[in-house]
Structure 1
Amino acid sequence: SLKKLPFTAIKDKTAIGERELLTAYFDPILVNILVNLDENVLLRWANVTCDATGDKRPDATISKLTQMSFGSSLGFGEAKLAQPTCDKCILCLDLARLATFAKDTVFLKINNASLSFQIHSFSVTFFTTRLRHDGIYIMQEIVHMTFPRSVEELATFISMKVWKMLLKVTDVFW
């Protein structure tokens, strides 16, 4: 799956489409920390509605399979491409969407907590949302990291610091 990465980084980040960003750059790594086939947990880039989202569509959903259909959602992801200028308003709206999806999952008692991630260009931030007290939901940042843009950048990505961050995400999620 790392064969999808270009050997050298593409200079114009705005030339990369959202599907390409998700499937070529993020999916090979996220699948390895968020998917567990033994537990029937899948990461879907389907952009479809699911149990806790009503008519809203997250870019990614971490779903649990129940028999032969998609069951409860364990987490959600939103992604935004690199733009010539950073639109913080849109990133804030995406974060609010993630908070709503996660809160609804916890509120419906589907899970005790929900994992969310927000991708912006080649950076990703992971969050966990929990119900701490009656009606008080806490959304906490777990880690923020930058993913490699090419095979050449894999050497700097594969470090003890990055491994610890990825392990922190898996520890919180699993």
Structure 2
Amino acid sequence: MSAPRTLVAEPLTREAFAPFGDVIECSDAVRHFPINAGNTERYHDLARVDAGGRGRAAISIFRGQPRELPFMANMMERHRLGSQAFVPLSGRPYLVLVAPPSPRPRADQLRLFLARAEQGVNYARDVWHHPLLALEAESDFLIVDRIAAEPDCEEHVLDEGVELLLP
């Protein structure tokens, strides 16, 4: 039996994550400007919220239990009708496992990112991603996603598991 495929987390950057969606963070790389008589800095239009034609955008909070590393990922999910954003609220880093849109994700397509505590992600429509991968302790995330009458979560079991590690 061969050893499982291993992925070591890479830093989450706007450029590296662009094929999968948006990085949500305060950065000089994004448009920002003062508002409220200079008392507040607005980091503007950080992610494209895609609620699909028959959906609406909703805000929720997910509370994730920490994953123990190394962690064996064996499934992915995607939302075909809208985007899904995760913004950490608990001040902890977390992992982001993604694969590009395709009929089925393959282990050799996966990319693993280490998100800093102040970085959120917005998964574009059809991007395969692993469910929440909190680290260190129970963590809350603000979620912006599509709500509609029809279900919009497709799950797929990978042909082979992938071991997730930190650098």
> Normalising by structure 2, what TM-score?
0.25
Relative contact order, CA 8 A, sep 6+: which one is greater? 2
More strand by proportion, 1 or 2? 2
More helix by proportion, 1 or 2? 1
